[in-house]
Structure 1
Amino acid sequence: MKHLWSPWRMTYIENHTKADGCVFCNAQTMTDSPENLIAFRGKNAYVILNRYPYASGHLMALPFEHISTLEELTPETRAEMMELTSRCTTVLRKIYRTHSFNVGINMGEAAGAGVLGHIHIHIVPRWAGDTNFMSAVGGTRVLPEALEDTYKRVREGFLEAGNGEWRIENRE
């Protein structure tokens, strides 16, 4: 039997405690960095990397406000979240040469939402043949890149892709 080693998971296993409050609201208050994983901030919404990604480059677009449903969002925030979703696909196509995307919203526990109460759109890059025996049979995902490296590439991608038109409001 062959083994797949992922020693970075031990830190999560040994230190995992449920954070007080909403993880997305907590991340917003921090300076943008590999620790909070915020890649881009807009006026009403922002882009953050998924800490437990389905694929390298798995991003989420979400509002700054702690809101749980689409109906609660202002039309302006809903529109901005879709614009950010589009920008995510632009950035990911450029830096990862992505073939396709899965884009979706899990609203509520029964729908599979991992973080309840703060709506978010998943943007998952896909490549031809990216589902193999490890995920299909072994129930294991193999990610070719460390999360910190993904953050650096995505953050730089947003800075380059906007040609100065996409502002990043960085909390310092």
Structure 2
Amino acid sequence: MTDTLLTEPDAGNASEALHEDRLWRDNGWTARVKKNEDDDGWAVEMIKDGEAEPALVGPWTMGRDKKNPKPLDTGAFNTLVKTASEVLRRHEQQLHAQLHKRMAVESGDATIEVTLDIVPDEDDPYALLTAFDSFGEQLAQVKVAPNFKLSRASAASWVENEFRRPG
């Protein structure tokens, strides 16, 4: 293995496996070991193919000589891929939770599920407020401001007002 430190992945070879001491590219991921800018140690960054920013950056172990980094290997790379994938999955779950909210409200003897789906468009962000019956059939949908606050009270008020656009 070579001890080459590349600063940018070669986009033309992103799908080809590459296994070097400080640079591994395989299975849609690139691991790059580089000098830690904050101290004398080393860091590793994991970048998913097609992404501009690393999904994970963390400290990397020193080698036996206590000056150079420990070389990447299959086990370490696989662990890094698993960890970086989990970070991305959590980020996606958090974003989904911020953009999609739901709650159930009682209306007479029926339960109505109300959802708020925020569409974060750069030019014209908005949200869709939607009501569903207990069978999952859509009862109503209105466009609202992206900062609309879905609460039990606002959902109940919307249902009571026969699904007229709030505010």
TM-score scaled by length of structure 2:
0.28
TM-score scaled by length of structure 1:
0.28
Which has the larger strand fraction?
2
Q: Relative contact order (C-alpha < 8 Å, sep 6+): which is higher?
A: 1
Which has the larger helix fraction?
1
